[in-house]
């Protein structure tokens, strides 16, 4: 499969240069500088449409998509999420502030968090229609808020299924010893507390991990959730109106992982297993919610860097870029593998492997190792595809790095949605020691 297939669906080679949505990456880099992040609206919409088509085909009851803002969130992204009719999943008061600034209606805001602070919970009361309670102490705090006269949003409980998906250990969440979610016993106690105190409990949730390609572990987790629902019906006559098996469907980051794992496979398994499971337990079909982040936004994003220095060591050709660890910590965090193409003449034949390192003072600041690439000169532009998820949202100011500019591309137009940080931005929070 071609490396080009990792890029957004509107990517073309025009006059020997990479373009996305009809915009020349060379021209954008000249105008906005590098590192530069690009989001292609058509690729985002294609991903949403694939989910929606699969849900229509495989689940006959109401179903919806909640975009996981943790993958990448900004004002523009939150606006797009709302315009496309998706719910927005926020973690904590910070993301809720972005949702509120984008005027996302609280009814379509859902909140997660394993250790929500008082500030988070106060923000939930103002801006969220649904709260997923992670643990029993949180349920007690919600009870206290309700007793103090606060109107709570709808509550779902996050179950810990005891089964993770196959992915990097740092992004597995469903295992028995995970810090996320409640055991069955804790969840049963949470249901009792909610019902006896009139809290608006309406749903059940689990999430087994992120970036998985094999949906099979979802079966056992769905069975566990439905067994729990059946037990709660017997104990209290309560049934979840909403069920969410979280998100986490993976994507291809480099050519050896292509093709992109089809969303249909994932949605089909969930839709069919949920229907069969409800039938077997005589449960009504709940409203199904999926919470994808990466599989919607990763491929839509591209990072563009400029090669500053070409260096040869004992056995390596180094291309040293003007970005890396600070805008994309995933290779250092998870050993994540990426691919890349030069923006000029991207189809030039490779001359050998190259190591793409960043400018930061960490030997772990290597974006890509041993990638076959053509001869590349200092000053050339390099485009790294599948850069839309968990890069900028986990970025840092390490070594005084200024967060990159971000552009939104659509039908030949590039709109600046996040300006590049300045040195003044780095000093914005600082207070001098003072003295004379």
Ligand X SMILES: Cc1ncc(COP(=O)(O)O)c(C=O)c1O
* Smaller CB separation from ligand X, 54 or 341: 54
- Neighbour-count burial of 348, counting CB atoms closer than 10 A to its CB (0-12 exposed, 13-18 middle, 19+ buried): middle
Site stretch for ligand X (CB under 6 A), options 68-76, 265-273, 306-314, 420-428:
68-76
92 binds ligand X (CB under 6 A): no
**What's the closest the beta carbon of residue 180 comes to ligand X, in angstroms?**
7
Rounded Cα distance between 174 and 222, Å, is 12
> What dihedral angle (degrees, nearest 10) is formed by the CA atoms of 228, 230, 235, 241?
90
**67-82 burial, b if ≥16 CB within 10 A, otherwise e?**
bbbbbbbbebbbbbbb
Restricting to residues 363-392, name those near ligand X by CB under 6 A: none
**What's the closest the beta carbon of residue 70 comes to ligand X, in angstroms?**
6
Q: Which of 44, 48, 71, 99 binds ligand X (CB under 6 A)?
A: 71
Q: Which of 153, 240, 292, 388 binds ligand X (CB under 6 A)?
A: 292
246 binds ligand X (CB under 6 A): yes
288 binds ligand X (CB under 6 A): no
Inter-CA distances, 299 with 4, 39, 198, 249, 267, Å: 11, 9, 43, 13, 19
* Smaller CB separation from ligand X, 32 or 338: 338
Instruction: Give the residue carrying structure tokens 């566990």.
Output: 224
Instruction: Give the residue carrying structure tokens 């030069």.
Output: 342
* Smaller CB separation from ligand X, 131 or 414: 131
Rounded Cα distance between 48 and 51, Å, is 5
Whether the Cβ atoms of residue 221 and residue 181 lie closer than 8 Å to each other:
no
Residue with the CB atom nearest ligand X in the bound state: 293
User: Nearest to residue 368, comparing CAs of 380, 378, 354?
Assistant: 354
Is 90 part of the annotated catalytic residue set?
A: no
Coil vs helix vs strand at 46: helix
Site stretch for ligand X (CB under 6 A), options 5-13, 224-232, 245-253, 322-330:
245-253
291 binds ligand X (CB under 6 A): yes
Q: Which of 26, 58, 160, 294 binds ligand X (CB under 6 A)?
A: 294
116 binds ligand X (CB under 6 A): no
301 binds ligand X (CB under 6 A): no
The set of catalytic residues is: 361
The residues binding ligand X (CB under 6 A) are 68, 70-71, 89, 112, 173, 207, 210-211, 246-249, 291-295
């Amino acid at each position: 499969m071609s490396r080009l297939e990792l890029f957004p669906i509107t990517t073309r080679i025009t006059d020997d240069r990479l373009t996305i949505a009809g915009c020349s990456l060379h021209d954008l880099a000249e105008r906005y500088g590098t590192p530069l992040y690009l989001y292609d609206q058509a690729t985002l919409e294609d991903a949403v449409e694939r989910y929606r088509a699969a849900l229509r085909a495989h689940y006959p009851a109401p179903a919806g998509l909640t975009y996981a803002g943790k993958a990448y969130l900004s004002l523009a992204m939150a606006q797009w999420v709302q315009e496309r009719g998706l719910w927005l999943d926020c973690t904590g008061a910070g993301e809720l502030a972005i949702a509120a600034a984008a005027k996302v209606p609280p009814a379509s805001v859902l909140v997660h968090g394993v250790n929500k602070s008082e500030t988070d919970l106060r923000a939930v009361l103002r801006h969220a229609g649904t709260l997923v309670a992670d643990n029993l102490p949180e349920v007690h705090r919600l009870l206290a808020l309700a007793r103090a006269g606060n109107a709570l949003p709808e509550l779902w409980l996050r179950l810990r299924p005891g089964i993770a998906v196959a992915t990097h250990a740092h992004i597995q969440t469903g295992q028995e010893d995970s810090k996320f979610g409640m055991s069955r016993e804790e969840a049963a106690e949470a249901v009792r507390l909610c019902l006896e105190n009139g809290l608006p409990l309406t749903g059940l949730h689990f999430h087994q991990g992120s970036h998985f390609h094999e949906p099979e572990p979802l079966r056992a987790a769905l069975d566990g959730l439905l067994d729990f629902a059946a037990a709660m019906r017997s104990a209290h006559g309560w049934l979840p109106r909403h069920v969410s098996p979280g998100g986490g469907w993976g994507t291809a980051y480099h050519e050896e992982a292509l093709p992109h794992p089809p969303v249909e496979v994932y949605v089909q398994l969930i839709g069919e297993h949920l229907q069969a499971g409800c039938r077997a337990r005589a449960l009504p079909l709940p409203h199904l919610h999926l919470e994808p982040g990466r599989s919607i936004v990763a491929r839509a994003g591209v990072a563009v860097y400029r090669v500053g220095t070409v260096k040869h060591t004992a056995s390596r050709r180094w291309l040293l870029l003007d970005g890396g660890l600070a805008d994309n910590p995933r290779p250092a965090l998870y050993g994540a593998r990426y691919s890349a193409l030069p923006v000029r003449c991207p189809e030039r034949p490779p001359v050998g492997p190259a190591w793409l390192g960043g400018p930061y003072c960490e030997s772990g600041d290597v974006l890509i190792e041993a990638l076959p690439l053509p001869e590349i000169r200092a000053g050339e532009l390099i485009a790294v595809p599948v850069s839309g998820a968990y890069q900028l949202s986990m970025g840092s100011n390490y070594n005084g790095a200024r967060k990159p500019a971000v552009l939104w591309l659509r039908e030949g137009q590039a709109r600046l949605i996040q300006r590049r940080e300045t040195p003044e931005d780095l000093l914005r929070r600082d207070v001098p020691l003072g003295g004379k």
